[in-house]
Amino acid sequence: MSTSDGVVIFCPFLFTNLTSVGYPIPQFRRTDQYAAFKKDGDSQMNRKVHGIADLMGKRKKGEGESDDDKVVVRRRLELHQTQGLENYFTTVDVYPTTEAKEKLAQELDLKAETISKWFINRRVKLRNEEGKKSKGNDSDEEAAPKEKPSGRSRGAPAKVSSKASKVTGPRAVMARTKNIVAARGKSDPTTPASPQEQISEESYKDSPALPSADEADEPQVIKKKRKVEEISAPPPPPPEPKKEPVPLPLWKELYIEAEAIRAAAGPSAEHLARQQLMLDHILNTRKKQELPPVFAMITGPTIQPYRMEELSLVLGRNTPAHREADIHVSNSANINHLHAKIVFEDNCYNIINVSRRGFQLKTNKGWKEITGHMVKVPLPNPAVMNFQGSFIFVQCFYIRDADSLEEGSHVPPVIKMEPIVQIHDVSMSYEEPEPVYVPPPKPQTPAKATKASKRQAAIPVAVAASDERETPKQWSYASMISASIRHHGGEATYKQINEYIGEHFKDVVKDRRTWKNSVGGVLSSSGFFESIRLPSDDPTSKKRGGIWRISNRGDKLVETETTKQEEKAPAAVAEKRPPNMVSGPVQPESYDSSSSGSSDGSSSSGESDSEESRSGPDSGDEGPPILAMS
DNA sequence: GACTATATCACCAACGGACA
DNA sequence: TGTCCGTTGGTGATATAGTC
């Protein structure tokens, strides 16, 4: 992203190379994620469907339809469309004007009518959410039994308690929101929007869904909306005792200083000179601190991108009792508190296995099990590792002085980063590991769960990064099956699939008595997998026991998704990142407060630019923005 | 054990009628 | 005309029962 003064902030987002390094099928933890993912690749999803309403002749004729063409175009909005609408709803206006709707329709390739309906439904959803909040909080007003619409003609307005509606009910929230919008003068086309609103309206597509609360230039409408939410929200919890100030990490100090210089400089020759000074300062500081002119970007579907500035870093699993890991890989019990260590030694990054279970490392000869205790392996660049189902990507960069740039380059004299070309044949770099000892799983006596509770358990719970609750389900069956088939080279029998899942996802399936049935169900009915059967004249042919592989449809979906990730950069991937798996803290507010997403992770963070999605582990060592040439 | 078929659930775009 | 409210129905994920 280019800033106004020409400095280019660069994030070497690693997902762009995921296809080439064997990125597994995306993991879906929520139905809507899965649906959104499937959407693009599945033409069937967009097909015209004939509903019962059509059969009964209930439905009105649509736009441009003839009498013989009574079909409902029923489709799910694409991810970017929903995101754009959601961002507009959250950051700009819950009541868009007709012009705004038309503009949205044009930009999101939707009909204005669809936009309108979406906003109606979205407001209903907001009210329901607010209603739940106030119900939990305001027992006096909401304690009355829920009125059923019985006896009321269809479509007649619900009887809302006037008291509730005036105070905290959903209607009240909406009304207040509406009043705010009206008060803003937005409905009056002659009233120009404030500069902040203009910015917001222009950038709604890229802006995060929930900007951080302490953002200085927060759009007025958001402030007002938040005020509305605060009115109906439960009283804030008592303030936590103040913690001792933690010294800023090096990168943060440098960045703050650099930002100060940059802010003071302005777009001038003097500014460029100051900028150079700043960059010199960064390099000198690194030299003083004996830090290598190298850093590694670490990221993955289960962790937020992290810029490694230290000489060593621990990968593992943090719990309330153990917080030794710099990067929390996942909540899986298969991840040790200290699972592996990345160290900068011998002028390159290496990874040392500390755990018994080890991990898999992608090499130019395929996946290698790294299981020997304290086995040190030079990291390929880029490196892909599989930590018991959690994939982690590492790419190393070095910082090169601007003097060595090509002549005539139009880019400003700043630091340039280039990936270190460092391909290792890992198979030659370490001894064959000892056989892995995996203790047998403890016999489980699952508690009797009701259907509803099981259903609830299947829904990923939005938990804070520090929340150690283990969500019962973190993988969909489709993604587990896909991982299994890919592990077996693209084809696997039912037995192999089940064995793989039972071994690698035992935490996911241990409480599911019938998980094998579900695997079978997904295999046969999802359409993502196909069974290869021997010809019937083959003597070894059997009626049963085919070999399963990912179907063209499934492959296409993976391809589509990967392309989308390439195009959308981290924002799209960050959105797919399940809330319960996010390991990093909230975004570092010091360098880009606008990038902070919702703290509970329950909604899309909407990170728009690659440099905004960076953060680190719970320790607070978030990665800094990286200065580079475009 | 290896499937297949069906039921159930949550989600959500779209609908119809009433209302402001 | 736009919005609200309740409803409808399509969709995928998962569970369950049944078959071979």
Question: What percent of chain A has a predicted confidence (pLDDT) above 90?
Answer: 0
In a domain, A92, yes or no: yes
Q: Strand C closer than 7 Å to the CB of A543? A: yes
pLDDT confidence bin for A94, thresholds 50/70/90: confident
pLDDT of residue A58: 31
pLDDT confidence bin for A346, thresholds 50/70/90: low
Q: Tens digits of per-residue pLDDT, A522-558?
A: 665 555 666 654 333 333 333 334 567 666 555 444 4
Q: Strand B closer than 7 Å to the CB of A602? A: no
Q: How far is CA A459 from the centre of its chain?
A: 16
CA of A121 to C1' of B5 (A): 34
> Is the model's pLDDT at A259 over the cut of 60?
no
Q: How far is CA A482 from the centre of its chain?
A: 20
Are the CB atoms for A416 and A9 separated by under 8 Å? Answer: no
Q: Which nucleotide is nearest to A525 (CA to C1')?
A: B4
Q: Strand B closer than 7 Å to the CB of A451? A: yes
CA of A25 to C1' of C13 (A): 17
CA of A187 to C1' of B2 (A): 63
Q: Strand C closer than 7 Å to the CB of A49? A: yes
User: From CA A489, how far away is CA A466, in angstroms rounded?
Assistant: 36
Region A302-322 average pLDDT = 74
Chain B positions within 7 A of any protein Cβ atom are 1-6, 8-20
CA of A155 to C1' of B19 (A): 10
In a domain, A182, yes or no: yes
Q: Strand B closer than 7 Å to the CB of A73? A: yes
User: From CA A465, how far away is CA A482, in angstroms rounded?
Assistant: 27
In a domain, A447, yes or no: no
Q: Strand C closer than 7 Å to the CB of A38? A: yes
In a domain, A39, yes or no: no
Q: Which of residues 167-206 of A touch strand C (CB under 7 A)?
A: 170-171, 174, 178
A299-322: string of b/e by CB count within 10 Å (b at 16+)?
bbbbbbbbbbbbeebbbbbbeeee
In a domain, A568, yes or no: no
CA of A40 to C1' of C18 (A): 35
Q: Which nucleotide is nearest to A36 (CA to C1')?
A: C12
> Is the model's pLDDT at A381 over the cut of 70?
no
Q: Strand C closer than 7 Å to the CB of A430? A: no
pLDDT of residue A107: 74
Q: Which nucleotide is nearest to A157 (CA to C1')?
A: C5
In a domain, A357, yes or no: no
Q: Tens digits of per-residue pLDDT, A8-63?
A: 222 222 222 222 222 222 333 233 333 333 333 333 333 222 222 332 233 333 33
A510 versus A374: which is more confidently predicted? Answer: A374
| Protein residue closest via CA to C1' of B17 | A155
Chain C positions within 7 A of any protein Cβ atom are 1-18, 20
Q: Which long-range contacts (CB under 8 A, 24 or more apart) does A367-370 make?
A: A367/A22, A367/A487, A368/A426, A368/A427, A369/A433, A369/A436, A370/A430, A370/A433
The beta-strand segments (E) located in A104-245 are: none
| Protein residue closest via CA to C1' of B18 | A156
Q: What domain range includes position A198? A: 77-142+160-232
Q: Which of residues 88-127 of A touch strand B (CB under 7 A)?
A: 114, 117-118, 120-122, 125
Region A454-475 average pLDDT = 30
* Phi, psi for A44 (deg, rounded to 5): -65, -30
Residue corresponding to tokens 């298969």 = A334
Q: Which of residues 109-128 of A touch strand C (CB under 7 A)?
A: 116, 119-121, 123-124, 127
Domain count, chain A: 1
In a domain, A487, yes or no: no
pLDDT of residue A330: 78
Six-digit token string for A557: 């979906």
In a domain, A502, yes or no: no
Q: Strand C closer than 7 Å to the CB of A58? A: yes
pLDDT confidence bin for A102, thresholds 50/70/90: confident
User: From CA A561, how far away is CA A164, in angstroms rounded?
Assistant: 45
pLDDT confidence bin for A517, thresholds 50/70/90: low
Cα angle, residue A320 at apex, residues A319 and A322 outer, rounded to 5° = 60
Q: How far is CA A161 from the centre of its chain?
A: 39
pLDDT of residue A76: 59
